[in-house]
Amino acid sequence: MKKVVLLFSLVLLVSCFDHSVSVVGDKRMQVSGNILDTQNTPLGNINVIASGSESTIINAWPEEILGEGFTNASGEFSFVSLDTDNSFYGVSINHPNHQDYREEFSTIHYLDSIGSRGNSFELTNIQLPKILEFQVKLNNTSARNDTLFFEFSYSSTEIYRKLQEDSFDNSLRFQGESEYWNKILPGEDEMTISAKTIENNDLQFKYKFSAEAVYNTINVEITPENSVYEFSY
């Protein structure tokens, strides 16, 4: 029996009330920097958004946007942003909610906690990785009558970083990993999982044939030339 699984990252944000971003008087902040690809080539026409949020998830809904700009041909951007005193504050590069989102590139969010901020933020030489679709293929080629337990982890296409290094004590939001786990029962001879990650990163694949056993671990590099990992047992 063959199974094909399409894996998407889905974030649900449930709120019991509408959040209104409060603006700090007439305060303005200068947000500037430059964006490169992983080969250090400047990237033009990349959207950059400053926004507020009631949580550490940066959605950048229209009512939350505090400023925005685009990179020029040299990969440079500069714009004026409002500040907020009741919300988390984020600067998002290539946000997927923006109408000019470029699907071939990942997203980087710079997040700041609720509190006071300075008058400017400079984000220099930011490397924006490309997105790569990959597959994990599992094949029972030996007709063994075991259940295969497996899981794998890989780099997320939305990356969170701290806007200020000391702004968060809890680093859970900034790990940047996605995970998937499943099992193949006896009689199921093949499964394919498709997902998206960033180029040139490792896939950590773990497997075992008993729920009580310790996982075996395999590290695989995912590249445009090698975007399929096949595990036969």
Which pTM was predicted? 0.86
For the chain, what percent of residues have pLDDT higher than 90?
78
The amino acid that residue 10 corresponds to is L
User: 177 and 153 in contact (C-beta within 8 Å)?
Assistant: yes
As given in the structure block, the two tokens for residue 116 are 């006071």
pLDDT at 66 over 90: yes
47-75: average pLDDT: 95
61-78: average pLDDT: 96
Among 63, 104, 105, smallest CA distance to 84 is for: 63
Mean pLDDT, the chain, as a whole number?
90
pLDDT at 154 over 50: yes
* Helix and strand numbers, DSSP H then E, in the chain: 0, 16
CB atoms within 10 A of CB 121: 19
Q: What is the pLDDT of residues 79-135, one digit of tens each?
A: 999 999 889 999 999 999 999 999 999 999 999 999 889 999 999 999 999 999 999
Burial class (CB within 10 angstroms; exposed 0-12, middle 13-18, buried 19+) of 23? middle
50-63: average pLDDT: 93
As given in the structure block, the two tokens for residue 50 are 């400053």
Using pLDDT thresholds of 50, 70 and 90, give the confidence band for residue 4: low
pLDDT at 38 over 90: yes
d(CA 83, CA 160): 20
